[in-house]
Amino acid sequence: MPADSPLLAVALGNSRLRLGTFIDGKLTQTDSQPLDEPETIGDQLGGDIESAFHPIRERDGASILMTSTNPRATPALEAVLRDRLGFPFKRVEADVPIPVGRQLDREAIVGEDRLLNAAAAFDTLKQACMVIDAGTAITLDFVDGAGTFHGGAIAPGAQLMLDALDGRFPQLPPTELAKPDEPIGHNTTQAMLSGAFYGVRGMARELLEQFAEATGQFPIVVATGGD
């Protein structure tokens, strides 16, 4: 599809659906919705998807491009996009390869979201970078100065860390992610927030140094994601 064709970009994640409308190669509208029951995504979000597609419906060459890291919800979402919208539909990687080099183990299977992040970061920066995507999980990936994706690290997201503590230790309270009042938590909730918040920051700093030492390239950090 031409780069300036009207496009509805659909990104299905583990906990959210994100929509982006592109006109003349520029992002003109975005939307993000939580997923409650993956199998009933059509009933949940069909109207939101149709609304997001409306601005380009009458334009010549309008199409839909979908990426997914959620196999449970993918069939239901594909049915909505194909049947309710009735416009040309393509899948990332299957129909439209992600333009990024890869240096990975032969058997490696990498999420489309990580590859798309890497391709976008290098296309913008044209230099080595570490892409941090902080959401349900946190991925920290290295792209070298030639634009090759090498993989990286995957860890629980900050909210998932907090939820794991609450679920495993009855004496620890349910806690929503927020920046702690100060590094030293003077009560249980603040101590949990400090552990998650500064733990993620410390992990990112350490991996940045490790990536640089391992490759001899000091990457610039690109951060994205719901958190």
Hey, which residues are catalytic here? 113
Element (H, E) at 21: strand 16-23
Q: Which of 192, 98, 185 is nearest to 149 (CA)?
A: 98
The rounded distance, in Å, linking the Cα atoms of 101 and 153 is: 18
Q: What is the 3-state secondary structure (H, E, C) of 142-186?
A: EECCCCEEEEEEEEECHHHHHHHHHHHCCCCCCCCCCCCCCCCCC
b/e 173-189 (16+ beta carbons within 10 angstroms → b): eebebeebeeeeeeeeb
Q: What is the 3-state secondary structure (H, E, C) of 175-204?
A: CCCCCCCCCCCCCHHHHHHHHHHHHHHHHH
Contacts of 126 by beta carbon, 8 Å cutoff, 6+ apart: 147
CA 192 to chain centroid, in Å, comes to: 25
